Amino acid sequence: MKDIFKIGSYTFNSRLLVGTGKYKNFQETKEAIISSGADVVTVAIRRTNIGQKNNEENLLDIINPDSWTILPNTAGCYTVDDAIRTCNLARELLDGHNLVKLEVLDGGDNLLPEMDKTLKAARHLIEDNFEVMVYCNDDPSLCLELDEMGCVAVMPLASPIGSGQGITNPDNIVKIIENSSKPIIIDAGIGCPSDACFAMELGCDGVLMNTAIAESTNPILMANAMKLAVESGRNSYLAGRMKVREKANPSSPISGISSK
């Protein structure tokens, strides 16, 4: 049976979502995205031109919305009004596209979500018929609140954005997954393919990353490695791992065999 990845009204084949920042140029961005096999490409509207600046190179000339689902995000927003305004700008530039990634930051060095503002912005956007994927802390109670208010995907951080620390609190991630009726997508902190694989083995529905690919020595190769890691972790989760035992257990039976 086909393993369907559904977010809101959208259906995807790949469970790896990728960003577009920090690459040397748009051409490298495109090559890495192709290598990743991702269907969803997230774009920081406040930092990347997708048509709002006529005199600058347009990312959509390289990343065609007919080939990828563009996921506008509100990176760089620190207030509810800025986040809402950015989402509306994205909807206008993308001809009514309603799927957005919401993030409202606290202004600190770790770029952590400001959750009170995130909750307020999410409610407003949902009421305005946006399909909201939301970046948030790895707090099970807050994640459940975002789920129940109608966000189409909940995206807890693994660790601070761009840190490459991997999943620092796997117990919380598991609790979030167990409580959720919506896709849980790890967002921020992934550093290498084993981090992505681990996230999927925990039961996450997907992984979003940017820096781990863009800042690697070979982004094209790393993008492909991340693709394989996400696929492997998902297959491992679906297959079900063996039981962990306190003692050794022989692979071949030893009963009836003489020790002499």
CA 57, 49, 89, 67 torsion-angle sign: positive
Does the annotation mark 260 as catalytic? Answer: no
Structure tokens at 134: 């939301």
Give the span between the Cα atoms of 221 and 97, in whole angstroms: 31
Residue of 25, 19, 35 lying closest to 226 (CA atoms): 35
Question: What is the crossing angle of helices 115-127 and 140-149, to 10°?
Answer: 10
Structure tokens at 91: 């909807």
Q: Say if residues 71 and 99 touch (Cβ distance below 8 Å).
A: yes
Residue 202 backbone zone (phi > 0: left; psi -120 to 50: alpha; other: beta): alpha
Q: Say if residues 226 and 17 touch (Cβ distance below 8 Å).
A: no
E strand residue ranges, the chain: 5-7, 10-12, 16-19, 40-44, 69-73, 99-102, 131-136, 153-156, 185-187, 206-209
Catalytic residue from among 101, 117, 182, 227: 101
Catalytic residues: 101
